[in-house]
Structure formats: C-alpha cells, structure tokens
Amino acid sequence: MLFFLSAMEDSPRIQMEKASKILRRSIYTFLQNYQYLTATAALLAFPYSASVLLSQVFVPFSPLLPTIHNRFRILFQAAGFPPSSEFFTVLSFKISQTISSSIFALPFTLSFLLIAKSSIIQLLNQHKPNLPPSFSSVISLYKPLLTTHICNFLVLLSANATAFSLLFFAFNFLEGFGFSSPNWLLFMSAAGAVLYSIILANALIICNLALVSSGMERSSGYLAILKASVMIRGRTSTALTLAVPVSLVLAAIEALFHYRVVRAYHTGDITSFPMALEGILIAYLYSIFVVLDTVVSCMFFKSCETSSLIDQEGRYSYRIEIAEEDGNAYVKLKNIEELP
C-alpha cells in the first residue's frame, strides 16, 4: 500500500472543510443504502447497543465495579498520585466504570458488533455498493476484524499505561522540587486531564481506523494498526472532528436511556411494558448511530487512501510504502522529487 503524505498538517480551516465533506458523503452513503443499513446492519448491532445501555442498570450494583475501583485507587496511591486531587478520583472511577461496562458487553461486542461492522464494510467495499452483501462475504471479514479488535485492546492498554507513566513522572518530578501547593496541584491535574485525553483520543482513532482497514484490505492485527498509524499522519484534526459529533450523540442517547428508563425503573414511576418498549426504541436509535459511525469511518478511510497531502511551504512529498513479507511488516519512506 502506498501513501503520499505531507510533512505538516493542513490548516484548521482546510481540515474542517475536509471533515465536513467526508461527513456529507457519509450521510449521503447512509441514505443511499438506508434500507439495508437500518434493517440489517442496525438489527445486527442491536444486541450490542442493548447491552451497552443495560450496563447502566446492572453495573452500579455489580460487585465488579467497587472491586476494580479499589484496585485503581490502591494503584494510584502506590504510584504517588496526590489523594486530594479530584482528577485522579474521577479518573479512577470513570475507568472502573468503563471496564465494568466493557466486560458486561464483551460477548456482544465480539459477536454482534463485529458482524454488523463486517456487513457495513463489505457493503461499502464491494464493486456494486447498492446490492446487499452475501452472508458468506460478511462472515469472511469476521476473523480479521476479531484479530484486529484484540490487538486494539492491547493498543488501548498500552496508551493508558503510557499516559499514567507520564503523569507519574510529572507529578513526582514537581513534588521533588517542592511544587506541591494546591494551585500547582490544580494546574497539574488540568494538564494531566488534557494529556490523558489527547493520548486516549489518538489511540481510539487509530484503533477505529485499523478495524476498518482490516475489513477493507483483509489485513489484520498489528499490520492493520501499523497502516492506520501511517494513514492518520497529518489528518488527526480531521479524524477528531469526525469522531466528536457521533460520540456526543451516542453519549446523549445513553443519557436519554438513563433518564427515561433507568431512572423510571428505580423509582417505579411507570409500568414495565411501556418502559421496555421505550428502552427498545432508544437501543435501536443507538444502533443507528453505531452504524453511521462505521460508515463515517469507512468514508474517512477511503479519503485517507486516495488523497495526497503535500506540504505547500516545503513542497516536498514523501511516499510511505507498507508491505508484508514472510510474515514481517516493514515500512519504506522515500523522498520523491521537489515539486515545481
């Protein structure tokens, strides 16, 4: 695979224009294949969506959440993080909540979600995109997606470990020089939150793009992650701009489910049948946006694959070639000629 990349990123205005163009193309593709995506793909993703939303009901009362939270609290105390910092208190609880919800939804993630993504990728990658893909072609993509998903888990684990290591060195370094006042603690907590968000956001973008790459090009595992890491170079702002709207909508749907279903379930305000029906509709809406998020990722992958980013100031272009030989992946970086 060949990529032509610039040495620098485009301006924010150009990145925003590219993101809006990809988003419009994604919505157009979604509406063009509306029947298949809302009937087949969304229904395949429905069990995963229901498990994610129902985790709000069962995880808070599960013994797994306080166990994981206590482990993180002990770990942060052993690492020397200030116990008075609200940042680490909230961070440990949110990570514990995310891990517990992920474990609850793991069987549906490894089955229904990956099959739904396989069907969407196969639909958008075939020569006749208006025709629904066959069942055998969808299942053939499941194995590379599963392998890449497992590797993505290791990447996210490494990203969190890297972020915690940087925070550990930063806090202990400043504490060694006597910067332990409440104002410095507040400043470092804010800087740590920004640093952690940047590292995690980039890791999630690479993992999401690697999952699409494994379906589009039938590559899997570390090779798909390597290709995604190269493809995202110079397009991080575009990827973040595309990821934020769908993530906000999914978070809003989770909040709606919590307000309309979980809250009513605990207070007993409504009967079980209307509550279950409303929960099913909200879960289906969540599935629709999971499908739309996959469509956006596929359009972004195609944009990365076909576009050529050239630095206008230096006017240099680089060719990056990723290949696999004898089970080993290697990268070649070649400087093409200076443009006139």
Distance CA 36, CA 93 (A): 39
C-alpha count within 13 angstroms, C-beta hemisphere, residue 212: 27
pTM exceeds 0.75, yes or no: yes
Query: Which residues in 118-145 are b (16+ Cβ under 10 Å) and which e?
Result: bbbbbbbbeeeeeebbeeeebeebbebb
Scan for tokens 């301006």, then name that residue.
Answer: 11
Q: What per-residue confidence (pLDDT) applies to 292?
A: 94
Q: What confidence score (pLDDT) does residue 110 get?
A: 92
Q: Please tell me the total number of residues recorded for the chain in this structure.
A: 340
Q: Which long-range contacts (CB under 8 A, 24 or more apart) does 86-94 make?
A: 86/189, 87/189, 87/190, 87/192, 87/193, 88/189, 91/193, 91/196, 93/69
Q: What is the pLDDT along the chain (340 residues), one digit of tens a residue?
A: 444 344 344 555 555 557 788 889 999 999 988 999 998 999 999 999 999 999 888 888 888 888 888 888 888 877 777 776 777 788 888 888 888 888 999 999 999 999 999 999 998 887 666 678 888 888 888 999 999 999 999 999 999 888 888 888 877 777 777 666 777 777 777 888 888 888 888 899 999 999 998 888 877 788 888 888 888 887 888 888 888 889 999 999 999 998 888 877 777 665 677 788 888 999 999 999 999 999 999 999 888 876 544 333 444 445 555 555 555 555 555 554 443 4
